């Protein structure tokens, strides 16, 4: 894979934003121009937390979830209700942004920082998710790989698949775009079947088209795709191309709206809570029409 393209060094030796650098002023202006009526559609999965309480106060058996909450006792007669929340961000039940510091290839994080320097017991020092603290705004393009249905189990998504979807929608993907992919799969609900996944060919396509950020319900296949590089999306799109990934996204509603409006481009905007120094954060990316 040593001939696979790399963005390491492309924006300097200490860059932390990666492919988001492709969102220039011109790209940003193209993004906001897509928003006309102000309709907003979430591209996030709804996550139902599981209560931390047990015993007689809650069921004792349940599926685990990415988020757990405990409703707090705020005092007798207190007017406010509140809770504490425990989040395991990199979980398929919650839509989350993978920061560049989440992934180390050969012990190094984009653009070449030793993982021992980028991450420590108390947090992330290089490539944390909060480097996008002012939000990411650009044009978004939905490529629906299986309109009205879902991809076959274990389908290897290729660049040709992405081209086909773009042609079907009549859109041209441009440098700096946010790529939103729908395959009709949910890693949690469908987790007992072979999950489709991105091939290295698809990641190369992302590079050639200058994708700045990725969001989709298709990630890396499980089990690995026969004859394909395993973990292509995380290893090459996130690790080598420094494209931040919005993992476990849910573009189902977005696809319905695109169909209805007959538009597959929109203002894409995402802003994670400004929590400093983490490898990832839960997010709710929006498509604005």
The residue to which tokens 């700096």 are assigned: 176
Cis check for the bond before 250: say yes or no (omega within 30 of 0).
no
Q: Quick check: 2 binds a second copy (CB under 8 A)?
A: no
Q: Which among 219, 214, 207, 209 has a CA at the least distance from the CA of 183?
A: 219
Residue 156: Cβ-neighbour burial (10 angstroms; 0-12, 13-18, 19+): buried
Residue 270: Cβ-neighbour burial (10 angstroms; 0-12, 13-18, 19+): buried
Residue 3: count of CB within 10 angstroms of its CB: 5
Rounded Cα distance between 259 and 287, Å, is 14
Q: Among 1, 9, 46, 261, indicate the residue that binds a second copy (CB under 8 A).
A: 46
Residue 285: Cβ-neighbour burial (10 angstroms; 0-12, 13-18, 19+): buried
Q: Quick check: 21 binds a second copy (CB under 8 A)?
A: no
For the CB of residue 162, give the shortest distance to a second copy in the complex, in Å.
24
Q: Quick check: 53 binds a second copy (CB under 8 A)?
A: yes
Query: How many residues line the site for a second copy (CB under 8 A)?
Result: 109
Q: Quick check: 256 binds a second copy (CB under 8 A)?
A: no
Q: Per-residue x/- mask for a second copy, residues 59 to 78, rule CB under 8 A?
A: xxxxxx-xx-xxxxxxxx-x
Rounded Cα distance between 284 and 136, Å, is 12
Q: Per-residue x/- mask for a second copy, residues 103 to 142, rule CB under 8 A?
A: xxx---------xx-xxxxxxx-----x--xxxxxx----
Cis check for the bond before 40: say yes or no (omega within 30 of 0).
no
Name the segment binding a second copy (CB under 8 A); options: 29-37, 156-164, 197-205, 207-215: 29-37
For the CB of residue 103, give the shortest distance to a second copy in the complex, in Å.
6
Comparison of 1 and 46: residue with beta carbon closer to a second copy: 46
Q: Quick check: 265 binds a second copy (CB under 8 A)?
A: no
Comparison of 206 and 254: residue with beta carbon closer to a second copy: 254
Q: Among 21, 40, 158, 229, indicate the residue that binds a second copy (CB under 8 A).
A: 40
Rule CB under 8 A: which of 148-207 touch a second copy?
Answer: 188, 191
For the CB of residue 1, give the shortest distance to a second copy in the complex, in Å.
14
What is the Cα gyration radius of the chain? 19
Comparison of 14 and 82: residue with beta carbon closer to a second copy: 82
Comparison of 49 and 175: residue with beta carbon closer to a second copy: 49
Rounded Cα distance between 112 and 131, Å, is 17
For the CB of residue 76, give the shortest distance to a second copy in the complex, in Å.
5
């Amino acid at each position: 894979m040593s001939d696979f393209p790399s963005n390491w060094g492309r924006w300097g030796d200490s860059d932390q934003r990666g492919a988001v650098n492709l969102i220039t002023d011109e790209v940003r202006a193209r993004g906001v121009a897509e928003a006309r009526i102000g309709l907003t559609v979430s591209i996030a999965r709804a996550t139902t937390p599981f209560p931390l309480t047990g015993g007689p106060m809650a069921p004792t058996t349940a599926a685990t979830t990415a988020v757990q909450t405990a409703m707090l006792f705020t005092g007798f007669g207190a007017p406010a209700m509140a809770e504490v929340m425990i989040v395991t961000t990199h979980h398929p039940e919650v839509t989350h942004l993978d920061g560049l510091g989440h992934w180390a290839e050969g012990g190094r994080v984009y653009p070449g920082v030793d993982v021992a320097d980028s991450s420590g017991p108390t947090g992330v020092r290089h490539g944390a998710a909060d480097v996008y603290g002012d939000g990411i705004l650009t044009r978004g393009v939905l490529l629906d790989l299986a309109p009205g249905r879902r991809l076959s189990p274990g389908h290897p998504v290729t660049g040709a698949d992405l081209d086909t979807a773009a042609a079907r929608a009549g859109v041209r993907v441009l440098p700096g775009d946010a790529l939103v992919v729908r395959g009709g799969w949910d890693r949690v609900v469908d987790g007992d079947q072979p999950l489709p996944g991105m091939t290295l060919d698809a990641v190369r396509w992302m590079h050639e088209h200058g994708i700045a950020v990725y969001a989709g319900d298709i990630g890396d296949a499980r089990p690995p795709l026969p004859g394909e590089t395993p973990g292509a999306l995380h290893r090459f799109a996130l690790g080598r191309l420094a494209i931040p990934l919005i993992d476990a996204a849910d573009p189902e509603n977005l696809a319905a709206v695109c169909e209805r409006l007959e538009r597959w481009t929109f203002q894409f905007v995402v802003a994670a809570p400004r929590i400093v120094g983490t490898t990832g954060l839960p997010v709710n990316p929006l498509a604005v029409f």
